[in-house]
């Protein structure tokens, strides 16, 4: 699939949990691939760079510091990160600047798996933006795992590929973005 042909998939399961001083977007998506395949897509820098809003400077499958480079057009920003849990192939938890991400892969009966992303932030104002962004990223990850990689659709480029419509739909579902 070429980037120009990308159209967002239907809305995925998303909710926001209020934990007092922190908020967590819980985003869930089913994949037909086995947990091992999804794990590699989440941790291998050669695969992550094809779908994620960041480029890891190392494999994310081991605990320890990990710089993540966010690319938006010609701009690249290095953010300090740390992998705090790496339970192959089921749990990846890492800090990304001020944000906390927990990826959990659960096998589904009959094949495939469910990926649950918990993205914890300091306030609810970014929930719909995050949901729209992760939605697009995981659509592209799905294409990559099916060997139809479009390449990443991140930053301002996402505006040309349905991000605004996803944002509006997730804003409605999650109660607005403040």
Spatial contact of 6 and 153, defined as CB atoms under 8 Å apart: yes
Per-residue pLDDT of the chain (178 residues; tens, 9 = 90+): 666 678 899 999 999 998 777 889 999 999 999 999 999 999 999 999 999 989 999 999 999 999 999 877 778 899 999 999 999 899 999 998 888 999 999 999 999 999 999 999 776 678 899 999 999 999 999 999 998 876 788 777 888 888 999 999 999 998 755 4
Half-sphere exposure of 40 (CA within 13 A, CB side): 9
Q: Residue 104's CB: how many other CB atoms inside 10 A?
A: 17
Q: Which of 142, 118, 158 is nearest to 30 (CA)?
A: 142
Distance CA 123, CA 92 (A): 22
Q: Which of 108, 58, 110 is nearest to 86 (CA)?
A: 58
């Amino acid at each position: 699939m070429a980037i120009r042909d990308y159209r967002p998939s239907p809305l995925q399961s998303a909710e926001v949990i209020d934990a007092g001083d922190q908020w967590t977007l819980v985003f869930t998506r089913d994949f037909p691939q086995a947990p091992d395949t999804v794990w590699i897509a989440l941790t291998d820098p050669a695969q992550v760079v094809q779908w994620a809003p960041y480029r890891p400077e190392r494999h994310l499958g081991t605990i320890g510091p990990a710089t993540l480079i966010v690319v938006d057009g010609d701009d690249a920003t290095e953010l300090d990160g740390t992998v705090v849990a790496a339970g192959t192939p089921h749990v990846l938890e890492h800090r990304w600047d001020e944000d906390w991400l927990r990826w959990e892969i659960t096998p589904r009966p009959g094949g495939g798996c469910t990926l649950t992303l918990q993205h914890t932030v300091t306030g609810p104002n970014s929930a719909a933006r995050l949901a729209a962004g992760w939605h697009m990223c995981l659509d592209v990850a799905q294409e990559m795992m099916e060997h139809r990689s479009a390449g990443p659709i991140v930053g301002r480029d996402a505006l040309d590929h349905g991000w605004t419509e996803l944002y509006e739909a997730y804003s409605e579902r999650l109660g607005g973005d403040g």
